[in-house]
Structure 1
Amino acid sequence: MQLSLSHTTKFNYSYDPLDQVSLLNMSLFDPFQELQSLDLSENWFEGVYENRGLANLENLKTLDLGYCGLTTLQGLANFINLQVLDLSCNFNITRGSLERQGRLLR
C-alpha cells in the first residue's frame, strides 16, 4: 500500500524540448494500482507526464513530491482520491493548476 522512492535518481525521465524540463513517466507505477501512499521526494524531476499512469493510481491518498525541483503541476489534479500532497521546497513552479472540476485540490 506504501512505496517510498525518496532520493532515488534513476527514474525513467523524459526530456520535453518544448518546455525544456525533465518529466517523470507516471506509467512506471501502473502495476501498483492499490498504492495509497507514494514518496518521490528529493528526486529532482521537474514535472510528471499526464498519461494513463495517473488514472491507474485512483487509490492514491498521499503523494510526497517535496524537494523535486518541480516547475509544473500538470497532471497532479487527476489523482481523484488524493488527500495529502506535499510540494514543499519546489520554489520554481510556474505552470499548472491543482484545480479539478471547479474546486481546488486540498
Structure 2
Amino acid sequence: MTINVIYSPGNAYHMSRKEIIDWVNDTLHTNIVKIGELGEGSHYCQLLDMIFPDLVQMRKVKWNCKHEIDKINNFKVLQEAFKLAEIDKKIPINDLTKKRF
C-alpha cells in the first residue's frame, strides 16, 4: 500500500518549524507542540513505517523517551530500516538526540 506524500513548494530546508510541526501532526495525527519532540526519533520511525510498511521494527521503538539511551535506540532502529530500504543517508544521531537541528 502506497501513501501519497503531500508536496509543498520549495524544499524542506526553507520550511519553518511551525510548518514542519503542522505537517507531522497532520500526517501522524499527533499533537507535537515543539520541534524538539522529534528528537526522540519515534516519529521518524513512524513516518518511515508509513512509507515502507513492516520495514521498521516498531516493537523496538521506545515512546515518550526520558533518557538519551532510549532516543539513541530509536535512531538506531531508524538507521537499520534505512539500510534495509537501501537509503544511503547517514543519520546524525548525536545532533538529533541533543535537539540541535
Structure-2-length-normalised TM-score: 0.32
When you count strand as a share of all residues, which structure comes out higher? 1
When you count helix as a share of all residues, which structure comes out higher? 2
Structure-1-length-normalised TM-score: 0.31
Larger Rg: 2
